[in-house]
Structure 1
Amino acid sequence: MGGKKVATPFQSSHILQYGMELITTEANGAQSCRCLFCVHQGRDVVEVTGDSGRKRKNRTDIKYFTKPFLLHQYRHHLEGQHKESWMLYQTLSPDEKKSYFNGMAKRTNTLHNYMDLSTASIDYVIQNSIIETIIGDLFFRDDDEDSGDDNDDEDAAAAIAKKAAKKAKEKVNAMKLFVKNVNIEMGTYTYTATIKNEMRFELAMDHVGVGMSFRQTAAAIDHARIRTNTPKLQGMNDLIVTQSVRVLVAVGLQMIARIIDNPSVWAFSLAGDGSTHRGQSFFDLRTRVCYRGFLVNLHLVAIPMFERHTAQNIFRMLVKFLDALYPNWRAKLIGFSSDGENTMTGRHGGLVTLIVKEAENDVIRIWCPPHQIDIVVKKSAECVFDGSWVKIVYDFSVYLRAQNNLIIKMKVKCPRKANRWANLGNVLKFYKQYRRALIEYTTENNPAKLPTADWWVLTYALAPAIDTINVTIVQLQSQSLLIAQQEEHIQSLIGSLTVLFSVEIVDGVNNHDEAYVSYHDQSMRIASAAIIAHIEDQGSFAQESYEGLNEVDKTRIVKEISIYAMTLIAGLNDVKAERNDANRALDQDAAPVMPAQLVKMRPGVFVKDVLAVRRVHVTKFWSAVKVDMVEEEHRQLVKLYKEDTIIHDAINKHTNTTTFNDAWDVLPSGFDNLRAFSGGLASVLANTTAVESDFSILKWELDEFRSSMMHLSLEGIFQTKQRRLLVALLR
């Protein structure tokens, strides 16, 4: 007659005696506990050999116990998986046992943000708000709403219902990747995602990160398994790759949250913009942060937008995301960069305006200068002959792109004149380079499409200015660019154009000299002879075309070129990244953040004009002693620059293309606090180029063959591209 099985309950004494932790207690009385040695130290690594007595490879997971809680099961686990630690633990007094685990970091909180590279599996622990709010809410549309009117076609209604069911299933499957862990004592809970094969996972993320599709990645890993005879790579398929990519979204966001939350970080900035691709709108958000003295630009998220693209809707979505990622973001935010679209920069209800009001500190508003220059170039070009010149530029390019015989003969196609006016330079360059062939073909086949001589003169005269602007735009699109460097590039561009067109600044003097063409406000003028010389500098064709004009047309051409040049320079003078609440340019200059700037600033001026402006902000996260060290290190830097010739020469070599990290790396140790403070100021994104780059990636990845890809998987692709950087930062 068999005895009745006893359901031995968990005893509180087990916690101290055997190093256990009670995890859950269900309503029906069911309980579970886990081994704290597994949590903090991991299991012993034992080789499976004939002498070891082990028949199985060591495991890497955490041991959990449920009813019945038998003492011999505790001892069997501890003696087999934590032999030395268990022997030591038994020799400790009760007070020593209470503090035994206090000084230890959890195994899941050590290397690479909860990753243990010494084992074959990885446990990622993610805060609950990232899983529930960002993954479970923002990436999935609420399809529980009415699918249509009663009079809708039944087939259409069925299709909508089928699609909604599919989306609901996708969300359920995505959430299954994360397991909820409850800490009863703390009253909190997190989620864990377990990657059972680390090598296969890392290899898959590397392949996806360089642009391979999920199927290509699975095939490549299987080929690697065959070629290298590596059993650990066995079993990979596109479904596993997809699941891994989705897990990486949460992992990447958790990494970024840790970076922003680091004590060295007192400020971070954001840049964002929206775009629509294949009928789905996304809002891309990036951040720049100085983590332990290293300034880094990171992709945050590309959130699908399911509602109308109003500033209020986007604002609510971003606040929801930021609250879930890092609840204290309002106290650290220092800058927000955007383009000039009214939804973003409107003075009353624009997105940037709403974000600035939500923040606790003064937030620097940035209107992307390349976008501003684009507007200036467009306005200036449309002033030439009341827009007829640029219209012909466009019409002629459309005509040439449709001439297949010409394209075959020349083996080159006319560039498309896109909306961005930076592309204007490529079109003009094509016209100049292939001018003879274009004129010959058009004369023979469609003379009415052939531009006139005065148009060619304008094209040759204005093309050098467009080329100069394009060079500067490329420089301004650098993702590592700082605001102060940006201003230097713009001023350098203005100087180059002033010299190119021989512009004279006349300070409002009313000058009616017929030898000059003056700007409408009398602030600038250009000698007609200088414009003629500029035309002649463009070569014999430009000279001949100009000389073939009558005197009236010559005068008109000179005036049009002069007005174009001065309109362009006046517009560039108004380009300013920093904006006020009314989206107007700020008069103040960007704060100095580079060693080359700081060494030329008196300590008293630094304290008054730089540190004092952000003292309230920085003291929310740094102690008064640390802030005092910022002042002291600045004084020491000024002294070092004066006394050390090597440092003096190294700093003097810095230019407006030197990156923040490279500039500070030339200094010896002892300036960590000053560097971190300067890095917080430098974190303000000078442009939205990185956001536009993200949209280029999005359109490349979400092509016609992957139009049904889940938004979560698409975001995972973004995270794979910066995974190595994040891992390196947190190493």
Structure 2
Amino acid sequence: MSSEPERKRVKRIVPFLEAHEYMYGVRVVERNPDTREVTSVLCMFCAAFGREDAPRETERKRAQTQRPKYWSGPTFRTDNYKSHLSKQHPNRWDQYQNLPPEQKQRYFDSIPAIPKKQEKPRRSMDSLNTGEVLTFLLDRDIVDVALGDVLFRAEDVNPGVGKSLAVFESTLDKRDTLDQQKSDGTAEVRVVVRSVKLFHRVVELVAMGLSFDQTATICQTQMSTRISDNTFVPQMARAVVGANLQTFSRILQQSWAFSLSLQSVDRSRPGGKERRMFLDVRVRVYCAGKMEAFHLLALPVRTGGDPSRTSEMMFDTLTTFLEAIHKRWLQKIIGCSTEATSSDQALPGFVRVSSARPPMDSLMQPFFDSVLFADNAEWYSQLTSLAAYLERQMATGNADELSAASVTTCPHVGDTIWCKMTKVMRWFDNARVSIQRLLARRNASVAPSPSWWLNLKIALVVGTIAIKTRASLQGGYATLMSQQPQRISMLRLALAGDVGVEGPLPAYQRAALRDQSSLGEMIGSSDGMFALVCRVV
């Protein structure tokens, strides 16, 4: 006698109960429009507080997600709720269970229950052969000299797939070449870019500061058709730089005069001991109805060796580069601003222009560096960690304190130039109360100490006053050399008054500071010329 076949076990459906909302801290976010049955619920602990940091967070191989947890129907099992709450919200879940039912029902009243958003499709580049192309016409010297001899290394343009995606080809007729017909080099090279979306993505990533290898890695993950090598990035970078230089060449050709600005820039890594100095070259020219300052070159300054030889090489590189962009540049240049002293003589045919802004910048930057990079860049490391944490919380909607105060997006802290860092410090100072409330609620490990906030406030006060002086040196009568020392003197008095510095001290006060007698409320500087007045608050 044959036994009846075993029936397939029917999956048990556990419907959603309204009591689940206050028992497990969940909220209904979606219902079936026809039957009104619950189709999706949200973990309100995720919506209100985000996920708690794991006790052994440093041992995790993958970063913890900050996305809120949703459960989809038709089955809503309570053991799934408990598993998530005990793993992702252990502390708050324990506290929540000890609350009376009345408090549980009102616990999340101020937190909006947001429906699950539809995930955006993965950003993908188009196929490499769509028929859409970009074409640029470049002068011969821009390609051969500016791109070939100055900007790009030979290993950056090795043959590979990249040469087929951004093709540099001659516009000359081969018959003219055979007949030895000479060209003046104008529009002699045609650049054809065969993957437009990939080109724009490469430009976007390189402009953000990513290296060629980093850009290639990101683009490879976003392309449906994988490229066999990474040569497409430097080739496309050559194309966009060449197009920009060609546009700049036309601007110089249409102008009757321009000036150069030379300034040394320290690009050392935060906390690093090795200095990386560059000579920043900018061109000031009248364009589109106003004066513009275009960045032209950043020439590395080699330390050691013969300084005169280094200067000669930098000068030769700059003149070669300008010659490739505009043949008549020597007939149009009317000035060159540098960081030289006032005793240096200007070359014949030049108009000497003096400005207190570069010397002021060179004095302010070391002060800010002393705040940012003291004690192995501890203050700056705290700043970057805090900025990254706030950015994550705002991106995931877990920064209600900042949203309630209408705080804007956290600024980028990568540029350590003193005037830009002052703007960053102003943002943190304005949002300080909201930030501290958020950090206290989340019990975040990145919460700064009171001394950190004090250093920020001191640097902000100094930077704010200095920025006003710097702006006054650029416009109005302060552009006259006779007015600039007065502006700097006013800055000195303002800083001394706000910070409480007195000096230069007379001889008897310097002697008293050395003896530590009768000047208990003053702290002397290392050279004894100045003193900080300590006021009791």
Q: Same fold (TM over 0.5)?
A: no
Q: Give the TM-score normalised by the residue count of structure 1.
A: 0.33
| Greater RCO, 1 or 2 (C-alpha within 8 Å, sep 6+) | 1
User: Which has the larger helix fraction?
Assistant: 1
Q: Give the TM-score normalised by the residue count of structure 2.
A: 0.42
